Structure 1
């Protein structure tokens, strides 16, 4: 089996963890007899996966050229995720005047998994510079 390069490992692990998490998330909703595809859950997983992949790939691409600014670029990526949250998800979640636990979980679960993996791989990347 060929050895995967660092960005490919990140993307493969990101997709695997998000797919497993999505399955578990739907399983929990199903066990509690709650609607499976409400609260923009699919969009949330897809957007978080795409943003995490793009941000990490950009960090990886510029790791040598901007190695002293990687931390700021990483924080800029987090800011970008918040912008997407407030533009795509927040208006729908707050349309009834309240953000429910289900709405929060639909966004926060894939966000947290993506953020953890981005942080882990970015720190590994910086350690190898």
Structure 2
């Protein structure tokens, strides 16, 4: 079980590193500051929470198999809570939330959510063989 979590974690970190690289290069290419708007924190928090959520669901699979979907949604609510508590006050400091500020959290959120979903599907579908 911990091997699956480790494999998921490595895949997530590698893929999110590539997405981070593309995201920051697109910002730079378009004349924006690549590491502004808490982008590093946005990626870091989303990756860490994705690993925690998938690990949590993996360990609870046997005991709470019927409730895993609800627990997965609770994990997404946790991510939004982190956004509202830690990111939103910083973004609202100037009175508005710019598109770049929004995207610095939302891009890693969406990609982590996609990769989390695939990870949880593997947890729920044990017949699928790992490569």
> What is the TM-score with the length of structure 2 in the denominator?
0.91
- 1:86 match: 84
1:121 aligns with 2:119: yes
Offset of residue 65 of structure 1: 1.1
4+ residue runs over 3 A deviation: none
Q: Looking at secondary structure, tell me which structure has more helix per residue.
A: 2
Greater mean deviation of Cα atoms: 76-85 or 90-99:
90-99
Given that 1:44 and 1:107 are in contact with CA atoms closer than 8 Å, whether structure 2 keeps it comes out as yes
Offset of residue 43 of structure 1: 0.6
Q: Which runs of 5+ in 2 are unaligned?
A: none
- 1:48 match: 46
Greater mean deviation of Cα atoms: 30-39 or 76-85:
30-39
> What is the TM-score with the length of structure 1 in the denominator?
0.92
Given that 1:18 and 1:113 are in contact with CA atoms closer than 8 Å, whether structure 2 keeps it comes out as yes
Offset of residue 113 of structure 1: 0.8
Equivalenced residue count is: 126
Structure 1 residues 75-126: Cα deviation after superposition (integer angstroms, max 9, x where no partner): 1101110110001101111222221111111001111111001111112211
| Residue number among 23, 26, 38 corresponding to 1:25 in the alignment | 23
CA RMSD of aligned residues (A): 1.4
Q: Which runs of 5+ in 1 are unaligned?
A: none
Offset of residue 128 of structure 1: 2.0
